[in-house]
Amino acid sequence: MSPHRRLSPARRRVVHALLVGVAVSVAVTALSRVGVLSGWETRAVDAFVFLRDRVPAPEIVLVEIDEESFAALGERQPLSRRYLADLGDFLLRLGARVVAFDVLLKSRSIPEEDEALVAMTRRREAPASGRLVFASVAIPRKGEGPPRYDPSPPFSPELGGFFAFPNAPVGADGVIRRMTPVLPAGDGGLLPSLPLAVLAAYAGHTPADLSRLLKGERGGSLALPVRDPGRGITRNEPVSLSTLSGTAWRIDFAGSQGAFTSFPSAALVQMARSGVRPESDNPFSGKIVLVGATFQESRDFYPTPVGLLSGVEIHANMVHTLLSRRALLPPHWLLNLSVLIGACLSVSLLSLWLRPLWVALASLALLLGFIAVSYEAYTQGGYWLDFVAPLVGMVSYIEGSRLIARRRLRAAFGQYVSPEVMDRVLREGAGLGGEVRTVSVLMSDLRGFTTLSERLLPDRISEMMNEYFTAMVEVITSHRGMVQDFIGDGILALYGAPVDDPDHAWHAVATALDMQAALQQLNRRWQVEGRPPLAMGVAVHTGDAFVGNVGSPRKKKYAALGDTVNTVSRIEGLNRELGTGILISGATLRVVKERVVVQDRGAIPLKGRTQPVEVFELLGASGPGTSGR
């Protein structure tokens, strides 16, 4: 005997539920790994980012070239290089730790203005005077193999400072959610992004240092500043190149538009050109300053999970993400699988002892707990604990269990009831565990079948019986009956269970009439084929019976038990004595008396009963409109 069969039914149900839970967990994890659930996971993180309280980042300040500043420049592009030179020089004199320009400087403009910007970068090459970072687009290199990128050159090779790409991956829906701290360089090594170069400059690296570190071994690391909540930037910590170059980081947006302190560039340039001497205590001292265009003609605005943001604001959020090390990378898939298995196993065990509604409510509570824990992990530690996969797993388990139960029910009843009754069982449910209800029971039996079996070959008998049972079962199911059992050449059918049928007595009586009519059609055909005819007796009785699953733990069936079933069997046997075709009891007649024509056969004592039973021969229906179909 197998170990599975040695288990008790209760334990077997538990084992089955656990196996299904594990199977669902593995399947959902596989779907998540291949990206099937990525869209839902993305939307879940978007919701977290949107709902999160604004997180101030005082170390990052924006200087915006807004509409007023652009108008003062004559609304021409490229932007005045002298304007940028005066702005950058003044910000560094104010004590800015890093000044990064999210402005492309690809083509030459007015020579004097170009030279002014180059001269400013030369004066500010000393580390003590601050650092300058300029945007340089990463251009994909043509050719086969893994993608590699080359930086676009500035308008002058003499322009000093860091050069880093401002490119950001755009999602399939046009929303910017992620950042790539580095990209593979065309000549080997890695290209730095603008936010990475900003933090490298803040940490004290020179452009040559950064280039050398990014061209080193992939197992190497890069020391970058770290921001502690409530304490600011206090130290540098190494970040491995594999972490920087691996999966794209999810941007941890600090808030919607206006989350960072910003100043218009026009006022600062005016102060610089008026000869104002900066105070040591100012909003730019020791800060990371990002300069970018926010005027409409720049077309530098992009949709994000927190709304439409300018390019310079998006880069500020990227710097904030690197500073806080909140990459929002998912945990190892084994941890996700463990959480998922725990969720599915919990639901599977609950489904053994709770009703479906309570299982659904418990699953909802469990899901809300996952969401709460995931949100707390996101807000406090910057971790993304996937709750989408457990949600899909729990829903899949509940729906899968429901489908399996429906298939089992259809397998158990589908052969013996009509499609309409089967649909009602699946739609409304039925008490299959056992209950006492009022039903009508039909019993049929063939006459002279034993003698017929002696005269015909077994294959001929088998052929006739298959045709007979097929015709009779079709009649029974067409009147909403259920074939409970085949007893030799007899048929036991049940009406009014497993689903309620207020007209069950009439449906049973109509079945008896149509069964005799169907047998007459078979006899006429068999007579033409040279086969002997068959005779049949049918009985119908109405009363209370126990209906439900009965049997042993290894073998069960849905059945009706009780005096009603025994009585109909005794009534059917009277057909031989009385020479009748259909007999119904007085209990059945009292329900259908207006719809049938009968002949009273009296009160007849039955074996096993102390009281006689009123028996009536059913002659036919009383008029039109009485069909039970």
Least confident residue range of 42-56, 138-152, 307-321: 42-56
Backbone phi, psi, residue 249, to 5°: -80, 140
**Higher local confidence (pLDDT), 202 or 188:** 202
**458: pLDDT strictly greater than 70:** yes
Mean per-residue pLDDT for 92-117?
Answer: 92
94 and 221 share one domain: yes
Q: What percent of the chain has pLDDT over 90?
A: 37
**Residue pair 549/560 in contact by the 8 Å Cβ criterion:** no
Rounded distance, CA 195 to CA 102, Å?
Answer: 10
For residue 241, being part of any structural domain is answered with: yes
334 and 260 share one domain: no
Least confident residue range of 8-17, 251-260, 369-378, 535-544: 8-17
For residue 455, being part of any structural domain is answered with: yes
317 and 339 share one domain: no
Which DSSP state fits 494?
Answer: E
131 and 175 share one domain: yes
**423: pLDDT strictly greater than 90:** no
**297: pLDDT strictly greater than 60:** yes
CA angle 339, 342, 344 (to 5 degrees): 110
Query: Per-residue confidence at 279, pLDDT binned at 50, 70, 90?
Result: confident
CA dihedral 353, 356, 357, 362 (to 10 degrees): 60
Q: Which two tokens stand for residue 616?
A: 């009536």
The SS3 call for residue 437 is strand
Domain end, chosen from 324, 340, 374, is at 324
For residue 435, being part of any structural domain is answered with: yes
pLDDT at position 428 is 46
CATH number assigned to the domain comprising residue 564: 3.30.70.1230
Mean per-residue pLDDT for 410-429?
Answer: 51
Mean per-residue pLDDT for 602-607?
Answer: 87
377 and 301 share one domain: no
- Give CA separation, 453 vs 386, 436, 463, in Å: 69, 39, 12
What single string gives the DSSP state of each residue in 556-620? EEEEEESHHHHHHHHHHHHHHHHT-SEEEEHHHHHHHGGGEEEEEEEEE--TT-SS-EEEEEEEE
Domain end, chosen from 324, 357, 388, is at 324
For residue 423, being part of any structural domain is answered with: no
For residue 629, being part of any structural domain is answered with: no
**Higher local confidence (pLDDT), 385 or 174:** 174
What is the tally of structural domains in the chain? 3
**Higher local confidence (pLDDT), 280 or 555:** 280
Rounded distance, CA 310 to CA 299, Å?
Answer: 9
**Higher local confidence (pLDDT), 396 or 162:** 162
What is the rounded end-to-end Cα distance, in angstroms, of the chain?
A: 48
Mean per-residue pLDDT for 270-278?
Answer: 86
Mean pLDDT of the chain: 80
* Short-list 377, 390, 310, CA closest to 48: 377
Rounded distance, CA 47 to CA 8, Å?
Answer: 47
**Higher local confidence (pLDDT), 230 or 83:** 83
* Short-list 541, 625, 544, 551, CA closest to 590: 541
Q: What percent of the chain has pLDDT over 70?
A: 70
pLDDT at position 12 is 58
224 and 140 share one domain: yes
**Higher local confidence (pLDDT), 491 or 142:** 491
**202: pLDDT strictly greater than 90:** yes
Q: Which two tokens stand for residue 326?
A: 């909140």
Domain end, chosen from 259, 290, 324, is at 324
**108: pLDDT strictly greater than 50:** yes
Rounded distance, CA 62 to CA 96, Å?
Answer: 12
Q: Which domain holds residue 221?
A: 56-324
* Short-list 237, 257, 366, CA closest to 308: 257
For residue 73, being part of any structural domain is answered with: yes
pLDDT at position 431 is 47
**628: pLDDT strictly greater than 50:** no
Rounded distance, CA 82 to CA 72, Å?
Answer: 13
pLDDT at position 201 is 93
**255: pLDDT strictly greater than 70:** yes
For residue 86, being part of any structural domain is answered with: yes
* Short-list 541, 591, 537, 588, CA closest to 565: 541
For residue 415, being part of any structural domain is answered with: no
488 and 465 share one domain: yes
pLDDT at position 91 is 94
Query: Per-residue confidence at 418, pLDDT binned at 50, 70, 90?
Result: very low
- Give CA separation, 372 vs 9, 53, 385, 515, 614, in Å: 37, 15, 10, 63, 69
**4: pLDDT strictly greater than 50:** no
269 and 384 share one domain: no
pLDDT at position 472 is 93
446 and 399 share one domain: no
Mean per-residue pLDDT for 316-336?
Answer: 74
**28: pLDDT strictly greater than 60:** no
pLDDT at position 153 is 92
The SS3 call for residue 359 is helix
191 and 91 share one domain: yes
19 and 63 share one domain: no
**Residue pair 560/497 in contact by the 8 Å Cβ criterion:** yes
127 and 239 share one domain: yes
Element (H, E) at 237: strand 232-240
